[in-house]
């Protein structure tokens, strides 16, 4: 018997389990910070803009 993983479940796994959510806004984490937490691209950009000051 073949085991079929539904696409939505696989997609959910890849986005939610493999990539932890952004610690700031709960979107998919894209960038790992030095302390092991993840932030999304949007928050990374915001942080980058703040860091420029």
Q: Which residues contact Zn ion by CB under 5 A?
A: 22, 24-25, 27, 40, 43
Nearer to Zn ion, 9 or 31 (CB): 31
- Beta carbon of residue 45, minimum distance to Zn ion (angstroms, whole number): 9
Q: How many Å from the N-terminal Cα to the C-terminal Cα in the chain?
A: 60
Q: How many CB atoms sit inside 10 A of residue 22's CB?
A: 20
Nearer to Zn ion, 3 or 18 (CB): 18
Strands of 1-53 (E only): list them.
31-32, 38-39
- Beta carbon of residue 35, minimum distance to Zn ion (angstroms, whole number): 15
């Amino acid at each position: 018997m073949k085991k079929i993983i539904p696409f939505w479940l696989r997609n959910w796994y890849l986005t939610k389990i493999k990539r932890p959510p952004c610690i700031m806004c709960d979107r998919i984490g894209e960038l790992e910070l030095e302390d092991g937490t993840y932030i999304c691209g949007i928050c990374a950009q915001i942080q980058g803009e703040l860091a420029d000051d």
